[in-house]
Amino acid sequence: MEKVRSISGDWIKITARQAYPGFAPRVQIEKLAEDLGISRRSAYAYVSEERRVPEGIEERFIRRFGEPAPDAWREVTLYAHSTSPNVSRKAKKPGPVPGALAAYRDNWRINAQNHARALAEGALGHRLTDWWQNELTNGQVAMIEHSLDEEEAREKYPYAFDTLAVSDDWAVECRICGLVGAVDDRLQEVNGMVFRVTCGTNSYKVGA
């Protein structure tokens, strides 16, 4: 047997979200597949890690989206009886440490939160609360999108009803003006007027 590396499914999803913002996750993956010249079925197999990403596809991925982060690789074990056409490719990098990609996101989020707080409080005069994880669940999303009460929504969408819908979104509020900001560690974005509007000026309001 031998060890080879492959871009992780999580990193492919992160890349798709960054490359095609504003689209549903399914559409993002399909657009990525189209740009790479691969089938949707293959793209979903790479995302779910049912199959490893072949070297040729990795090269296309890197040319199109740039070099993945050091923690974006997973290690795959190939056995002698494997019929894969890529069994001769040796591992070029060590496999990721378990949980390393999650740690990478955590570090990014903490740094983004600290910088956002420094800007909002130091330059714009806000006084921020502690950060909290967005508590919106899949069930609540279904209730909003389909105008259902909770009982109807639970009956129609029983699976993962109470699972967080945007677990990568962290919000904060200004104690003075009430504006809300957010940090999304999946898309690596900092959102919200609390970060770019001077507190108390009402400069975020449009019209009379």
* Residue ranges per structural domain of the chain: 2-96, 101-195
Q: What is the largest CA-CA distance in the chain?
A: 73
pLDDT along the chain (208 residues), means of 10: 81 89 86 88 85 86 86 75 43 50 70 86 88 73 73 70 67 85 76 77 44
Query: Which listed CATH number (1.10.260, 1.10.287, 1.20.120, 2.60.40) goes with 2-96?
Result: 1.10.260
**Interval 17-68: pLDDT, tens:** 888 888 888 889 889 988 888 888 888 888 888 888 888 888 889 888 888 8
Query: CB under 8 Å to 26, separation ≥6 — which residues?
Result: none
Check if the beta carbon of residue 93 is closer than 8 Å to that of residue 73. Answer: yes
Closest by CA to 61, choosing from 89, 99, 69, 103, is 69
Q: Is 113 helix (H, G, I), strand (E, B) or coil?
A: helix
What is the C-alpha separation between 169 and 167, in angstroms, rounded? Answer: 6
Q: How far apart are CA 195 and CA 27, in angstroms?
A: 30
Q: Is the pTM of this model over 0.75?
A: no
The SS3 of residue 179 is coil
